[in-house]
Chains A and B, each alone.
Chain A
Amino acid sequence: MKINDSKKPIETDVLVIGSGMAGLRAAIEAKRSGLNVLLVDKSLLGRASSSIYAGGLGLEILPKHLPYHGAGKEKFASYFNGTIEEVFKKMLEEGVSIGWGYPYIDNQRILMTVACDYKLRQEELRDFGVEDPYSQHFIGRPISMGVPIILPMIDYFKKIGGKTIEKTVITDLIRQGDRIIGVIGFDMDRKRFVVILAKATIMATGGCAQVYKKTHAPTRITGDGYAMAYRAGAELWEMELVAFDNWTIAEPGCPQWWIPFSYGRVSGKLRNALGEPFFEKYAKENKCLGPKATLDDNDVMDIRYGKALTELNYYFWRACSKEIREGRGDQSAVLLDLRDVPEERWYYENDGIATLNLLRNFDWQKKPLHISPADENMAGGIYTDEYFKTSLEGFYAAGEAGPGQALPFCIVSGACSGRYASWYAREAGPAELRDEDIKWIDKMQEEARKLLRSEPNDMGDPRGIKKDIKETMWACVGTLRTEDELRKGLQNLERIEKERLSKLYAKDLRDLREVYEVINMVMVSKMIAESARFRTESRGLHQRLDYPKEDNVNWLRNVILQASEGGMRLFTRPVNLIWEKPD
């Protein structure tokens, strides 16, 4: 298959890569400041992002939701209810998100920005034509609950004059000195290479959850932004902090997807293969139960355990992983017994009926359901300061590609990065190609042509390699980690890199996208494994069986990684504890 040269570079003031919540919000902010803004996605705009399947904006309970609110008051964490100080403290102890937990190692200024800004940013979605920014979890679409938020934002961005390109895969950043001046890639529809020159570039490509076998992220979430930033020499941080979720269906004949929060789900009972209610014991040992916990199976979970379930999330996956690892799981899963849940409870809110759709081939009234921990998203990412600027000039990162995760973080980091990138673009000199850049672009395009000329072969099948990466990562770099397994995982990844990446081939540009995804996935997997090996303590999301204690003496530090001539370079930087310190 042939691919045409791009005739001349596309020029813009601000370029945004990725059209999920963070990218869209960044693009809107930059456009509203009056600059030329181009939004690029490797698939259809917005629709292939994980924001489409995320419900994180609907975590507040408003009076109009009460009729749908079957479970106790705490079913949804009122995470952003409370004073700015309370919200800040909660995020500091639990992470820039909802109870996933990575205490005290975030940039406190970023946390404060999110705490101060989040409610305004959520309400402001109405300006972009979003009818109801608050009801994702209650009223509206099951599963794809981001559609009524993302699609109006795309329309709004186009209406105010924003430019968009779909199905255009960005493969690398163009670096000139310490500055990023644009990107290269290829357009799948027009079958040609593209070069985009931008005064400022915002990376909003989302996470990398597809590197794990067990995940419930959409197919295209392959860590492209992390890998491109790494290749360009930018710093990444906290790559060991992968956020897992406990409630993923592990039943043959059912989709591997999480069971959304619902009155039905919180009425279930968590059991191991021996039928024991293991979570109670685990929770007592780890002192995570609320003071009013009833531990009565007839109560819904938040009353049973006395706490908002979002705050218990990471205790759940830790407990389940422990059961499975110690041989009390069934087929690498634990059991969620839904047999006693009255059927009408599923019809309460969209999350309940979404679950009935997911379990359409499974008789939950007759037998308990296998569930498993799975990768949900990445807490680390491209390192940025509180202005969402990366370690390179003219290069910004927002959302999961940047230093945090979850929708509340996406709308805040999107808006901020959009604003600061446009300030930079206003002052910056033009982005122009020099001879050496053109030579480098020719070389990169020749490599892509070579992939398109290569003969199909078993070793180089991109989907086959993806499967191997996913298996390795789940087996060796999963929820509970040890030095031995991490080393084994790295060996496997290096073998894949050495023996199979050179055999990659692409029959067409759809394949070529898969090929670049594979290259990026191997790179990102190595980053996760290396960072996880490097942090010799357990902290929140990062659980080492060989270093089970949180170590505030040695590890109030961030693990930073960067490409160097000798390969991946890892080092630490102390956390700036400007306002709060752990006890």
Chain B
Amino acid sequence: MLDFKYELQEEKCIGCEKCAEVCPTLAIDFDSEKKKAFVLDIDQCLVCHQCLEVCPVEAISIKGALWQEDIRISKSKN
């Protein structure tokens, strides 16, 4: 179990749709009326980091997930 925290700051969002475009699982969606991205179902998030990378205004942050620096080779092989 990880202490995972995903945050999308609505006040920073400029409504560019990019995060919703790249989300592969509809964890993030776009509200066409409000012109803002919103979290639809964060349990579906794969932690692929694509939304975070395409966001032009750093409105998205991911905490508590593992990333490539966590790859480490254990001594007890097999």
Contact = CB atoms under 8 A, between A and B. Distances in A.
A255 B25 contact: yes
B32 A43 contact: no
A219 B71 contact: no
Contact of A70 (B22, B45, B77): B77
Contacts of B27: 255
Contacts of B47: 142-143, 354, 357-358, 360
Given A44-B22, A147-B50, A347-B72, A510 B30 contact: yes
Contacts of B4: 357, 360-361
Listed residue (B18, B30, B49, B78) with the most chain A CB atoms within 10 angstroms of its CB = B78
Contact of A43 (B2, B22, B53, B73): B22
Interface in A343-365: 344-345, 347-350, 352-354, 356-358, 360-363
Contacts of A357: 2, 4, 46-47, 65-66
A63 interface: no
B57 interface: no
Given A52-B50, A139-B68, A348-B73, A219 B26 contact: yes
Give the size range of A's interface with the partner.
35 or more
B43 interface: yes
B46 A143 contact: yes
A353 B46 contact: no
A347 B54 CA distance: 27
Nearest to A144: B48
A147 B46 CA distance: 14
Contacts of A167: 21
B76 A255 contact: no
A345 B74 contact: yes
Interface in A105-121: none
Interface string A109-143: 00000000000000000000000000000011111
A342 to B, nearest CB: 7
Contacts of A353: 66-68, 70-71
Nearest to B1: A363
Contact of B70 (A144, A342, A347): A347
A67 interface: yes
A56 B67 CA distance: 20
Nearest to B22: A47
B32 A510 contact: yes
Interface string A495-512: 000000000000110110
B56 interface: no
Chain A interface mostly helix, strand, loop or mixed?
loop
A68 interface: yes
Nearest to A352: B71
B3 to A, nearest CB: 8
A479 interface: no
A250 to B, nearest CB: 13
Interface in B13-45: 17-18, 21-27, 30, 32, 43-45
A331 to B, nearest CB: 17
B37 to A, nearest CB: 12
A257 interface: yes
A218 interface: yes
A377 to B, nearest CB: 14
Given A257-B46, A358-B46, A44 B54 contact: yes
Contacts of A347: 70-74
Interface string A320-332: 0000000000000
A48 interface: yes
Contacts of A44: 18, 21-22, 54
Interface of B: 1-2, 4, 17-18, 21-27, 30, 32, 43-50, 53-54, 64-68, 70-74, 76-78
Enumerate the 7 nearest inter-chain pairs by beta-carbon distance, A residue then B residue, closest first. A218-B24, A344-B74, A144-B48, A360-B2, A357-B47, A353-B66, A47-B22
13 contacts: A70-B74, A143-B46, A143-B47, A342-B74, A347-B73, A350-B68, A353-B66, A357-B4, A357-B46, A357-B47, A357-B66, A360-B64, A510-B30
Given A217-B24, A508-B32, 13 more contacts: A43-B22, A47-B50, A48-B24, A70-B77, A144-B49, A219-B26, A349-B71, A353-B68, A357-B4, A357-B46, A360-B1, A360-B4, A510-B17
